[in-house]
A and B are shown apart, each in its own frame.
Chain A
């Protein structure tokens, strides 16, 4: 079956018909570009096993493959000595929140957390919304961030949307959508397409997530997400299947584990985790908040005995996911390729392992 159109991330209903078509066109074009690959690089074009769901049939043997990872930024964890240090660092700037999950925290005067809001919505959708339905965008900011948001807060004098506006640039004043440089849907599409090429180097088929990202030069090796997305996609490609990111293309919350959490009144800590945007299967916005009637705050909840003093502690337990679809297993005739450009590069690995201090 050929997909009629790409839906907006999370199957949200903000867009009018014209904007929905524009979104479909944007994703379709991004996929087509990714399929072509980087012709200016050796061994990276075409990505013959990657396909456009709206142009190529998804066969009846189709299987879905979920890929998930932890939202806490790996680079921060790697370079920190203590938990307090890593939580504080992860919460210091949206620019270090690079696992396709960014967050903002609302605290009481005494520092206790009242509410933590998490988003995994890529910026591209919001840029399209700003261009096609600016009033809707303003309404959404007022609904999800603050009723006092003004149009001038979000758009510059020329009417251009400011993704890093005052309501979406910090860890304390709101998080409407992803803004960290590597947290884009385009990146997700490109790396999954690049990972669909089976790699053989020095006569050996590559299978490890790190050697694959080094060899194919997709994504950011330092993250939890990109090497894993590429590794899983490639493992499907090695089954000689065609594959794509499933509709709606996007990044989603897989869930929150509350293993080891305890509330002051014995209530279920899971009950304070709510999805507030996106469909049930594809949630794109979540909040962790205790109702006022409970008489305690998020910071009165403990994780293995330690009170929640940073929303970053919660991200240790949040999983982000995407879903790929694969079909025509065993039928692909695409030839494996050697590594992109020169043999296994060193630069990226160096960055992976270097301390940042």
Chain B
């Protein structure tokens, strides 16, 4: 076993409370056990792409010169700042990416310090620097503790290559951990920092209002009156997560745009087309959405009406907005505060970390995984750039549409997606090529198979598919709206939400114990899925294993 394999193996032994943020510390421990600590020389840039490299290697000056992002430029100048503060000072001194915003997150941020003084609060800063409003450099670091010891990770945008470079401070120096393409390709996909930067871009799990766990215009992270963090200049200049959302969305779109530009060759060929198409068919990662109402508020207002996240019901973000533009006109499904409060008691909801236990839901009510913006953005841009037609993308997405994430049915279709493709207009384009393959396969499958469902979607006339799909979604939402007002109906949706949360918890993106509540539903209870009539059933196991982005 190589040292790299040791590190990879040990990496995944780290408990679920925190993983990415423990990387540097853990790496040092691992190195101490297996490697002479002196191996990493100070003021030296190493390469170590986890999963791909067997050892740390010193990067040559010509290799460093290829890192045309702000961090790479700084390191190329021989600057090796070892704390976030020193890094920001070096950037200031160099006049690089002058616009700065800082943000803060803590999964324990709404738990009073007075009530749980010993709780691991995992307070982190996200610091964004840029020439303009866009993020050319993103820094993630621990907000509490010795700045030279807390984790320190950097993503830098390389405009020349059209990718993000990823860096980590390890054992007193810097390590280049790979770039966006390492996130996409085996054997590094899913390893190291790419367990959360799954598709090579910026990550903000709680991307939407109310930005659960972030300091935002909807919630202020609680600190003790005498918390030294109050004196930290980054804390004193915090911006709200509402601003970070726009920055992260822009960062993801920038990477997608660059990626698609390079994905198609001058001969109109797309090598590795499956890297793109898996983001249409599978759930490569997720965002976490919730209601905008604090759980404690909702649970104490029995007659209140709680609007549940639209992304729980279907992939609204991609289906109803450009370029697919399915004209859905329905009210957002909602539930009474009483039914919500009853569900918290029935399933013994609690936030749990080690010996700490706080009864109830997450701070904002009803947190669920929903389709990730980074998947949605790839789909949108594939359509707007003509790689796929809107009808084709919608035909895939409308297969098992009541399950916007973790759909085995849609994942089944991934087997028909080519690993390399040619944008051949004469043959009807890529959409027509793939559709022909799936439609042919449908002939050998039952009428309710994903293949047959796709085929029926695809065979809808160009003039009618949007309205037909809208009608389907509206009928489904009407059924949900009727069922959700009953005890049994909402109970189904509570259990479905918990099932999806359990699927999220199996992902490496699940780093912190306090991100999501636990319940008395056993971890090994059957997973659930939604039907188009608004009822739920145990999740079907399909013959074809869906493609997964990272080992579990």
Which residues of A does B touch, CB under 8 Å?
Answer: 68-70, 74, 77-79, 81-84, 205, 207-211, 214, 224, 227-228, 231-232, 235, 238-239, 257-261, 268, 270, 304-306, 316-317, 319, 344, 346, 349-350, 352-355, 357
Complex interface residues of chain B between 371 and 387 (CB less than 8 A to chain A): 377, 380-381, 384
Residue pair B307, A232 in contact (C-beta under 8 Å):
no
Cα-based distance from A346 to B297 in the complex (angstroms): 9
> Contacts A69-B242, A232-B220 given: A304-B250 contact, CB under 8 Å?
yes
Does B247 make an interface contact (CB < 8 A)?
yes
Q: How far is the CB of A24 from chain B (nearest CB, A)?
A: 31
Interface of B is mostly: loop
CB of A259 within 8 A of CB of B293, answer no
CB distance from B241 to the nearest CB of A (A): 11
Q: How far is the CA of A207 from the CA of B113 in the complex (A)?
A: 12
A81 to B318, CA, bound (A): 11
> Contact at B304–A353, with CB atoms within 8 Å?
yes
Given known pairs A78-B307, A83-B321, the reply for A349 and B220 (CB within 8 Å) is no
| Nearest A-chain residue to B101, judged by Cβ | A257
Taking a contact as CB atoms under 8 Å apart, the answer to whether A259 and B321 are in contact is: no
Q: Which residues of B contact A258 (CB under 8 A)?
A: 132-133
Assuming the contacts A260-B134, A260-B250, asked whether A350 and B304 have C-beta atoms less than 8 A apart, the reply is yes
**Chain A-chain B contacts (Cβ-Cβ < 8 Å), number:** 141
Tell me whether B240 and A68 are in contact (CB under 8 A): yes
The answer to whether A355 and B331 touch across the interface, beta carbons within 8 angstroms, is: yes
> Known contacts A353-B304, A354-B305: does B321 contact A82 (CB below 8 Å)?
yes
Among A69, A232, A305, A357, point to the contact of B331 (Cβ < 8 A). A357
Q: A317-B246, A349-B293 are in contact. Are A81 and B301 (CB under 8 A)?
A: no
26 of the cross-chain contacts (CB-CB < 8 Å) are A74-B209, A81-B328, A84-B321, A207-B220, A208-B219, A214-B297, A239-B225, A257-B247, A258-B133, A259-B134, A259-B251, A260-B249, A260-B253, A270-B132, A304-B249, A305-B380, A305-B381, A305-B384, A306-B322, A349-B293, A350-B301, A350-B303, A352-B293, A353-B307, A354-B334, A355-B331
Q: Is B320 an interface residue (CB 8 A)?
A: yes
Known: A70-B217, A270-B132, A304-B250. A346 touches B112 (CB 8 A): no
Q: Tell yes or no: B119 within 8 A of A by CB.
A: no
Bound-state CA distance A235–B363 (Å) is 18
**A257 engages B133 (CB within 8 Å):** yes
Q: Which residues of A contact B242 (CB under 8 A)?
A: 69-70, 319
Quick check: B112 and A207 within 8 Å, CB to CB?
yes
Q: Which among B247, B253, B304, B320 is the interface contact of A82 at CB below 8 angstroms?
A: B320
A293 to B225 Cα, complex, angstroms? 55
B222 at the interface (CB under 8 A from A): yes
Kindly state the separation between the CA atoms of A268 and B293 in the bound complex, as whole angstroms: 37
B380 / chain A contacts, CB cutoff of 8 Å: 305
What separation, in Å, do the CA atoms of A230 and B253 have in the docked complex? 35
Complexed CA–CA distance, A207 and B209 (Å): 19
Q: Which residues does chain B contribute within 8 Å of A208, judged by CB atoms?
A: 110, 219, 294, 296-297, 363
* Contact code string B285-297 (vs A, CB < 8 Å = 1, else 0): 0000001111011
Known: A239-B225, A259-B135, A353-B307. A81 touches B329 (CB 8 A): yes
Q: Which residues of A contact B112 (CB under 8 A)?
A: 205, 207
> Chain B residues with Cβ under 8 A from A261's Cβ?
133, 250
A259 partner, pick from B110, B240, B249, B316, beta carbons under 8 A: B249
What residues of chain A lie closer than 8 Å to B302, measured between beta carbons?
Answer: 346
Quick one: CB contact mask for B274-293 with A, threshold 8 Å, 1 for yes? 00000000000000000111
For residue B306, CB closer than 8 A to chain A, the reply is yes
Contacts of B297 in A (CB 8 A): 208, 210-211, 214, 344, 349
Judged by a CB distance under 8 angstroms, whether B58 is at the interface is no
With A346-B301, A353-B306 in contact, is A257–B220 under 8 Å at CB?
no
The distance from the CB of A225 to the nearest CB of chain B, in whole angstroms, is 8
- Nearest CB to that of B222 among chain A residues? A207
- On whether the beta carbons of A304 and B253 are closer than 8 Å, the reply is yes
B 68-112 binary contact with A (CB < 8 Å = 1; else 0): 000000000000000000000000000000000000000000101
Interface residues of B (CB under 8 A from A): 110, 112, 132-135, 209, 217-220, 222, 225, 239-240, 242-243, 246-247, 249-251, 253-254, 257, 291-294, 296-298, 300-307, 310, 316, 320-322, 325, 328-332, 334, 337, 363, 377, 380-381, 384
A257: chain B residues at CB < 8 Å are: 133, 243, 246-247
Question: Please, which residue of chain B has its CB at the minimum distance from the CB of A65?
Answer: B236
Query: Known contacts A260-B134, A268-B132; is A78 also within 8 Å of B292 by CB?
Result: yes
CB nearest to B319 among chain A residues: A82
In the A-B complex, the 3 residue pairs with the smallest Cβ-Cβ separation, listed nearest first, are A260-B250, A259-B250, A259-B133
CB distance from B390 to the nearest CB of A (A): 14
Question: When chains A and B are docked, how far (Å) is the Cα of A69 from the Cα of B242?
Answer: 8
Residues of B within 8 A of A74 (CB): 209, 292
Q: How far is the CA of A248 from the CA of B260 in the complex (A)?
A: 50
Residues of A within 8 A of B300 (CB): 344
Q: Which single residue of chain B is at the shortest CB-CB distance from A221? A: B297
Asked whether A353 lies within 8 Å of B334 as measured between CB atoms, the reply is yes
Say how far A317's CB is from chain B's closest CB, in angstroms.
Answer: 6
A205 / chain B contacts, CB cutoff of 8 Å: 112
Contacts of B330 in A (CB 8 A): 81
Which of A82, A205, A317, A350: most chain B CB closer than 10 A? Answer: A82
Whether B331 contacts A224 by the Cβ 8 Å rule is no
Partner of B296, one of A211, A352, A354: A211
Task: Give chain B residues whose Cβ lies under 8 Å from the Cβ of A319.
Answer: 242-243
- With both beta carbons as reference points, the residue of chain A lying nearest to B333 in the complex is identified as A355
A228–B239 Cα gap in the complex (Å)? 13
For the A-B complex with A305-B380, A349-B297, A353-B334 known, give 17 more contacts whose Cβ atoms are closer than 8 Å. A68-B240, A79-B307, A82-B316, A84-B325, A207-B220, A210-B294, A210-B297, A228-B218, A232-B220, A257-B246, A259-B133, A305-B257, A346-B303, A349-B304, A350-B301, A350-B304, A354-B334
Hey, which chain B residues are within 8 Å of A354, CB to CB? 305, 334
A94 CA to B254 CA in the complex, in Å? Answer: 34
Pair A355/B307 contact, Cβ less than 8 Å: yes
| Contact indicator B332/A79 (Cβ below 8 Å) | yes
Report Cα–Cα, A163/B225, bound state, in Å.
Answer: 45
Shortest Cβ distance from B130 into A: residue:
A259
- Determine the distance from Cα of A82 to Cα of B297 in the docked complex, in whole angstroms: 27
A239 to chain B, nearest CB (A): 6
Q: How far apart sit A261 and B132, CA to CA, in the bound complex (Å)?
A: 11
> Please, which residue of chain B has its CB at the minimum distance from the CB of A235?
B220
The answer to whether residues A209 and B218 also contact, given A344-B300, A346-B301 and a CB cut-off of 8 A, is: yes
Smallest CB gap from A214: residue in B: B297
CA distance A207 to B297 in the complex (A): 12
B432 to chain A, nearest CB (A): 24
Chain A residues near B291 (CB, 8 Å)?
A: 353
In the complex, the chain B residue whose C-beta lies closest to that of A316 is B246
A84 nearest in chain B by CB position? B321
Residues of A close to B293: CB separation below 8 A: 210, 349, 352-353
Closest residue of chain B to A224, judged by CB? Answer: B217
Q: How far is the CB of A355 from chain B (nearest CB, A)?
A: 5
Name the residue among A77, A210, A346 with the largest chain B CB count within 10 angstroms.
Answer: A210
Distance between A226 CB and nearest chain B CB, rounded to angstroms: 11
For the complex formed, measure the closest distance between the CB of A92 and the CB atoms of chain B, giving whole angstroms. Answer: 16
Q: Bound complex: CA of A222 vs CA of B306, how far in Å? A: 13
Structural contact, A228 and B217, CB atoms closer than 8 A: yes
The residue on A at minimum CB distance from B248 is A259
Q: Complex: how many Å from CA A238 to CA B230?
A: 14
Report the bound CA distance from A224 to B133 in whole Å.
22
Which residues of B sit under 8 angstroms from A344, Cβ to Cβ?
Answer: 297, 300-301
Contacts of B135 in A (CB 8 A): 259
**A125–B12 Cα gap in the complex (Å)?**
62
User: Which A residues lie within 8 Å of B246 (CB)?
Assistant: 257, 259-260, 316-317
